[in-house]
Amino acid sequence: MFAATAYDIYKNHALFNFGDWQNIMVGFITSFIFAVIGIKALLKFITSHTFVPFGIYRIAVGVIFLIFFT
């Protein structure tokens, strides 16, 4: 994703003005911070819990989709 975004910005850099660069940087920094927070929370959750509830949830959702879409 980073490489694709960097390539797109490189190809279209002449179309951006200063305000656009500010928006891109604020979005990048904000998404990075929340991604780190989310990963840390997930790793903390995984150390004290198992994947069994997640597996049951995924099986239940899969069955519901099979019922409604077949």
pTM, 2 dp: 0.60
SS3 1: coil
Tell whether the model's pLDDT for residue 70 goes beyond 90. no
Which pLDDT belongs to residue 7?
93
pLDDT digits (tens, 9 = 90+) for 7-41: 988 898 888 888 888 988 899 899 999 999 999 99
Q: Helix, strand, coil proportions of the chain in percent (round to 5)?
A: 90, 0, 10
| Higher pLDDT, residue 3 or 20 | 3
Q: 45 pLDDT band (50/70/90 cuts)? A: confident
Phi-psi region of 51 (alpha: psi -120 to 50; beta: other; left: phi over 0): alpha
